[in-house]
Structure 1
Amino acid sequence: MKDYLVKALAFNGTIRAYAVRSTDTISEVQKRHDIWPTTSAALGRSMSAAVMMGAMLKGEDKLTIKIEGDGPIGPMVIDSNAHGEVRGYASNPDVHFELNEMGKLDVKRAVGTSGMLTVVKDLGLREFFTGQVPIVSGEIAEDFTEYFVVSEQVPSAVALGVLVNPDNSIKAAGGFIIQVMPGATDETIGILEERIANMEPISTMIDGGLSPEEVLSSVLGAENVEILDMVDVSFKCNCSKERFGNAIIGLGEKEIREMIAEDGQAEANCHFCLESYVYDKEELEGYIHEIQSRS
């Protein structure tokens, strides 16, 4: 099964829902960065949430999420957009602990329980929308639940999961976001709370072969769900030599001349995909001429 997400409504439009299978996408990131299991769980959960949040956007809108806890992973940064494209990295990918008392990967210990979760949305306006909440658990799903309630005033249930194989590869990854819209009855909310409290872990559902549609049917009841859209999900990095070149130009003539004097070249590395771009002396001198022609 390929990675994709679904958008849905339920209970006569009073519930909005998203579900994603992200196994291959998280696997791509794990392999690129050679990530250890606990970090894979933390970053994978975060990326699954980010790609579903991207699906809440429109057109060319995009968002960036930064989770900066006091744990050894350090800051995690994730970008996503409305087209199911996502990329992310953890500052320290080589973090792993023994399983916690629940027999699960100890994401809380790796992320930390103090810090901030920040969401920055580029909606094509002059100003970016920024929402920020304190980390409440470090388990990621609870932290996004807090974000939706506090920053966007939307009561939400967020479930995120990643299963990691003994060889550190990704076995299953995915999640869902269920949001309560105006008009939802207490009865509907009660049904949802009971279903969510008694459901299998989302990672187990994905590992068992359930599709995103089947996940939502399991959580919401098949008779209540109306699927609105399906979007393919994939890892995609938009870095390029030109983009980094523009960043070098932005450093100014003095710093570029120092690069030439010290190293005779410059090298830029992408944190997201680990691609490296080298700029020789001739290219750097070309940037200086470009700066001079603008002044």
Structure 2
Amino acid sequence: MKDYLVKTTIYNGYVRAYAITSTNTVEEARRRQDTWATASAALGRTITITAIMGAMLKGEDSNTIKIQGNGPIGAIIADANAKGHVRGYVNNPHVDFELNEKGKLDVARAVGTEGSLSVIKDLGLKDYFTGEVPIVSGEISEDFTYYFATSEQLPSAVGAGVLVNPDHTILAAGGFIVQVMPGADEEVITSLEEQIQSFPAISGLIREGKTPEQILQQLFGEEEVKIHETMPIEFRCKCSKERLANAITGLGNAEIQSMIDEDHGAEANCHFCNETYLFTEQELEELKS
């Protein structure tokens, strides 16, 4: 199944919900980053939620997420746009532990329980929207739930899960975000809370072959789930040799000449996709102004 996301409304528009399958996207990130199991789960949950948040945007808008905890994984960085393109990386991909007391990958231990979650939205304006909240659990889904309630004043339920095979490849990944719109009555809110609390792990549902539509229908039971849009999701990096060439040009002639004299060329690596770009002495000469 190809990765995709659905945008829906329920309860006559008083609740909006997004669901996503992201198995292939998370696997591509894992492959490029060479993450171990627990790091894969942390990165995968972050990428999954970031992709959903990107789908909330319009046009050329994009967002960047940074989770900086006090755990051994270091920072988790992910960004996404409104077109379904998402990418991400972790500072230390080689982090793995024994399963926690619940028999799950110990993401909180990898991320840490102290630190911050920040969201930067580029809405095509001169100023960026930035929201930052403290990490509340390190499990990532709960941290994003807290972010929406605190920074955007939007009551939300966020769920994301990643299952990892014994060979460290990704077995299943996906997530959802459910948000209560202003004006919803208490009956809707109470019903929603009960449904979400009793809902099974989303990664397990995806492993069973459930689609995003089926996941939301199972979550909301007899309520009508109105689908507004379906969009493909994929790991896609923005890097290119041209962009890196522009960055090198910005260093100035003196720094470029130093690369030529001392290193006889230059090598640049993208954190997100791990692609390496090589610049010969002649290419560096051509970048000098």
Normalising by the smaller structure, the TM-score range is over 0.9
In the alignment, what sits opposite 2:56? 56
How do 1:129-168 and structure 2 match up within 5 A? 129-168=129-168
How do 1:100-249 and structure 2 match up within 5 A? 100-249=100-249
In the alignment, what sits opposite 1:270? 270
Q: Which amino acid aligns with 1:173?
A: A
State the identity as a percent. 60
Describe the SS at the equivalent of 1:105. Answer: coil
Q: Kindly indicate whether residue 95 of structure 2 is the aligned counterpart of residue 95 of structure 1.
A: yes
Does the 8 A contact of 2:239 with 2:270 survive in 1? yes
Does the 8 A contact of 1:76 with 1:91 survive in 2? yes
Stretches of 4+ moved more than 4 A in 1?
none
TM-aligned CA deviation for residue 253 of structure 1: 1.6
Task: Normalising by structure 1, report the TM-score.
Answer: 0.96
Deviations 1:42-87 (A, max 9, x none): 0000000000000000011111111111100011110100011101
Identify unmatched segments of 5+ residues in structure 1: 291-295
Does the 8 A contact of 1:71 with 1:111 survive in 2? yes
Matches of 2:135 and 2:127, distance apart in 1: 25
Matches of 1:79 and 1:250, distance apart in 2: 24
Quote the RMSD (CA, aligned, Å).
Answer: 0.9
Task: Normalising by structure 2, report the TM-score.
Answer: 0.98
Matches of 1:222 and 1:167, distance apart in 2: 40
Does the 8 A contact of 1:3 with 1:232 survive in 2? yes
Identify unmatched segments of 5+ residues in structure 2: none
In the alignment, what sits opposite 2:70? 70
TM-aligned CA deviation for residue 277 of structure 1: 0.7
Count, aligned residues? 289
Q: Which amino acid aligns with 2:75?
A: P
Matches of 1:244 and 1:88, distance apart in 2: 18
Matches of 2:123 and 2:112, distance apart in 1: 30
Q: Kindly indicate whether residue 24 of structure 2 is the aligned counterpart of residue 32 of structure 1.
A: no
Does the 8 A contact of 2:11 with 2:223 survive in 1? no
Does the 8 A contact of 1:115 with 1:134 survive in 2? yes
TM-aligned CA deviation for residue 151 of structure 1: 1.0
Matches of 1:194 and 1:101, distance apart in 2: 25
Q: Which amino acid aligns with 1:230?
A: T
TM-aligned CA deviation for residue 221 of structure 1: 2.5
Does the 8 A contact of 2:164 with 2:172 survive in 1? yes
Distance 1:173 1:248, change over 3 A: same
TM-aligned CA deviation for residue 224 of structure 1: 2.5
Q: Which amino acid aligns with 1:200?
A: P
Does the 8 A contact of 2:74 with 2:91 survive in 1? yes
Does the 8 A contact of 1:216 with 1:222 survive in 2? no
Matches of 1:2 and 1:222, distance apart in 2: 27
Does the 8 A contact of 2:29 with 2:88 survive in 1? yes
TM-aligned CA deviation for residue 164 of structure 1: 0.5
Matches of 2:32 and 2:125, distance apart in 1: 34
TM-aligned CA deviation for residue 223 of structure 1: 3.0
TM-aligned CA deviation for residue 156 of structure 1: 0.3
Describe the SS at the equivalent of 2:7. Answer: strand
Does the 8 A contact of 2:51 with 2:80 survive in 1? yes
Matches of 1:36 and 1:240, distance apart in 2: 27
